[in-house]
Amino acid sequence: MAKKTMSGLRLRYGRWHIDKRSKYFPGGRLRQSTSFREEEQEKAEELLIHKLEEARKAVEFGVRPDRPFEQAATKYLIDNQHKASIDDDGTHLDQMMPHIGSLPISKVHNGTLDPFVKGRLAKGIRPKSINNALGVVRRILNLAAGSWHDENGLTWLGAVPKITMLPIQGDKAKPYPLSWQEQRTLLKKLPDHLAEMSLYKVNTGAREQEVCQLSWDWEVEVPELNTLVFLIPGWLDDGEGLVKNREDRLHVLNKIAISVIKKARKQRPTKHLKRCCIHTGGKCNCAFTYVFTYKGYRVGRMNNTGWKRAWREAKLPVSRNVLRGVHNLKHTFGRRLRSAGVSNETRRVLLGHTNGDITTDYSAAEVAELLEAVNRLCLTKDQRGVHETPTLTLIKRKVG
């Protein structure tokens, strides 16, 4: 004799679904699918009973359901999929899941995170990288306690535990500005699209996401100087933790950067590509909008496996005390400006290190001054292929 089905459960297409009237749910009803198959009726019934009891306690006593951290992490990733740094956040969370994924969010604290921290340190991971992962956990817990509410109006978490970061004094890796020869070698090792992005970056001092998200809409012509610039909006999600202000930022293009843009312009389609997300109601992700793309679609990050492989093949330093990422291109740009005699104030503007005293409204004369500075990094016609201007000698500590 077949077992009687509990009220509120329905079998649809071989799976159990909940459809239960109850005063404890908004609208007086709970509708929810389950992952349980027909033969798992008892598990579906246990889930329904659990949901009803949770809802009753929440309404009558203000007791929050204790959701697993994995559920909170999934919500965070879905809510923030537009962020430039969401891939990095996802990687950090993947590393966390074996340690805290199944724990209730109320049980995530320094003690339960300790095995993760010790395990990463044992593998030689730098404290700064571990802190980046802990920072993602802290953001999720803050959201759970302050911004995320359930159907009963309760936050997911009652209070946020203190997550202690590791000390990083003396741990910070030092930048590695490239010499001209190192730059040439690296660019040859990079995939073509990354080489073009890197050439633009090292000649403008742009941040990684300013290059990845560079839009044709941000292009501004300066007819008085017969040139163009890119005005980067202050709301741009940088993803590098470097932007201290949210002011618009100017990319002043020297001759080399202009040539990169002209090359990219030739590859720009006249309309959105077939697989562009705009056709499905999303945001454009193709070369119609973005300057730098790979196979016609926007590049999420430069500091990827292609970059890391090229860095090694170019025989550049791989010591843990030296930065190996694309941010070295920005340091290279700054070092070359200084070597070329560009003033500190002008360097700050070109590098985007504003301090509140520098306006983002530029006259043609001011742009001309900035343009003259960045063009000092280019080779002159007579020197092309023979000598480099300015001569840049880097005194570096020998590293492994």
CA pair distance 211, 333, nearest whole angstrom = 14
Tell me if 158 sits within 8 A of 146, measured CB to CB. Answer: no
* Amino acid at the residue 325: G
Most confident of 78-82, 161-165, 233-237, 389-393: 161-165
Q: Which of 241, 232, 216, 249 has the alpha carbon at shortest distance from 83? A: 241
User: Is residue 374 pLDDT above 60, yes or no?
Assistant: yes
What is the residue extent of each domain of the chain? 9-61, 69-146, 180-375
Helix or strand holding residue 143 (H, E)? helix 127-146
According to the model, what pLDDT value does residue 271 have?
96
Contacts for 147 with CB less than 8 Å, ≥ 6 apart: 155
Query: May I ask the CATH architecture of the domain 180-375?
Result: Orthogonal Bundle (1.10)
The β-bridge partners of 16 are 11
Reported confidence tier of residue 383, pLDDT bands at 50, 70, 90:
very low
Q: Worst-scoring range by mean pLDDT, 100-114, 139-153, 175-189, 359-373?
A: 359-373
| 3-state class (DSSP) for residue 332 | helix
Most confident of 66-75, 79-88, 112-121, 165-174: 112-121
Token representation of residue 261: 């843009």
DSSP state of 27: G
Interior angle at CA 318, CA 135 and CA 400, nearest 5:
130
Does 301 or 59 have the greater pLDDT score?
Answer: 301
Count CA atoms within 13 Å of residue 352 on its CB side.
Answer: 26
User: Is residue 350 pLDDT above 70, yes or no?
Assistant: yes
- The pLDDT of 261-278, averaged and rounded, is 96
According to the model, what pLDDT value does residue 123 have?
87
Reported confidence tier of residue 85, pLDDT bands at 50, 70, 90:
confident
- The CA distances from residue 307 to 45, 102, 207, 259, in Å, are 52, 35, 15, 22
Most confident of 20-24, 152-156, 207-211, 388-392: 207-211
According to the model, what pLDDT value does residue 389 have?
42
Count other Cβ atoms within 10 Å, centred on residue 284: 17
DSSP state of 281: T
pTM of the model: 0.63
CA pair distance 296, 301, nearest whole angstrom = 15
According to the model, what pLDDT value does residue 59 have?
60
pLDDT averaged over every residue in the chain: 84
Residue that is written with structure tokens 């860095």 in the block: 311
pLDDT, tens digit (0-9, with 9 covering 90-100), for 289-325? 999 999 999 999 999 999 999 999 999 998 878 888 9
62: left (phi over 0), alpha (psi -120 to 50) or beta: left
User: Is residue 239 pLDDT above 60, yes or no?
Assistant: no
Interior angle at CA 285, CA 279 and CA 289, nearest 5:
100
CA 325 from chain centre, in angstroms, equals 14
User: Is residue 170 pLDDT above 80, yes or no?
Assistant: no
Q: Which of 325, 329, 335, 211 has the alpha carbon at shortest distance from 264? A: 211
Q: Which of 223, 220, 221, 200 has the alpha carbon at shortest distance from 212? A: 200
CA pair distance 395, 51, nearest whole angstrom = 66
Q: Worst-scoring range by mean pLDDT, 43-47, 214-218, 249-253, 391-395?
A: 391-395
Tell me if 350 sits within 8 A of 370, measured CB to CB. Answer: yes
The β-bridge partners of 20 are 30
- The CA distances from residue 99 to 70, 71, 94, 96, 107, in Å, are 11, 14, 10, 6, 12
Interior angle at CA 236, CA 244 and CA 347, nearest 5:
50
User: Is residue 400 pLDDT above 60, yes or no?
Assistant: no
CA pair distance 139, 136, nearest whole angstrom = 5
CA pair distance 103, 257, nearest whole angstrom = 50
Token representation of residue 24: 């404890």
Reported confidence tier of residue 141, pLDDT bands at 50, 70, 90:
very high
* Amino acid at the residue 367: V
| Percent share of the chain, pLDDT over 90 | 49
pLDDT, tens digit (0-9, with 9 covering 90-100), for 103-140? 888 899 999 999 999 999 998 888 888 999 999 999 99
Phi, psi of 65 (to 5 degrees): -65, 135
CA pair distance 148, 136, nearest whole angstrom = 16
